């Protein structure tokens, strides 16, 4: 009887450790993705800011060297000011629910 209880406790502990490792691994991968997303968003943002102005519309430019990542840029006019609200959304093509967004203002072209 004592042997069975001991084996059950060991198996329960092993299952807990394996589940914890699995969750930690997923969290680290997600964290790495968000860090990569933020660097790519920053790079795209600086490219748009260098131009200083942007036309209204929505487009999805390709990111060189990152075929698995989808970037969408949307520029919408703002009322009563000569600015466009620019939204940059980035995500993996395979996991569109895991995304990052960045908002900024640029002059209308």
The model's pLDDT over 19-45, given as tens digits with 9 standing for 90+, comes to 999 999 989 988 888 898 899 888 888
Strand ordering across the sheet containing 83-92: 53-54, 99-108, 83-92, 69-77, 57-59
pLDDT class for 14, splitting at 50, 70, 90? very high
Q: What are the distances in angstroms from CA 31 to CA 12, 14, 37, 65, 106?
A: 29, 26, 10, 20, 30
The model's pLDDT over 54-105, given as tens digits with 9 standing for 90+, comes to 888 898 888 888 888 888 999 999 888 888 999 999 988 887 777 888 899 9
pTM over 0.85: no
pLDDT class for 12, splitting at 50, 70, 90? very high
pLDDT of residue 87: 92
Ranges of each domain in the chain:
2-108
């Amino acid at each position: 009887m004592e042997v069975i209880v001991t084996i059950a406790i060991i198996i329960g502990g092993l299952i807990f450790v394996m589940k914890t490792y699995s969750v930690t691994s997923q969290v680290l991968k997600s964290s790495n993705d968000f860090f990569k997303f933020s660097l790519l968003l920053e790079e795209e943002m600086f490219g748009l800011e260098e131009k200083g102005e942007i036309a209204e519309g929505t487009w999805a430019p390709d990111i060189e060297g990152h075929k698995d990542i989808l970037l969408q840029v949307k520029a919408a006019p703002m009322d009563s000011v000569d600015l466009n609200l620019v939204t940059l959304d980035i995500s993996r093509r395979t996991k569109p629910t895991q995304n990052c967004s960045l908002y900024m203002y640029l002059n209308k072209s």
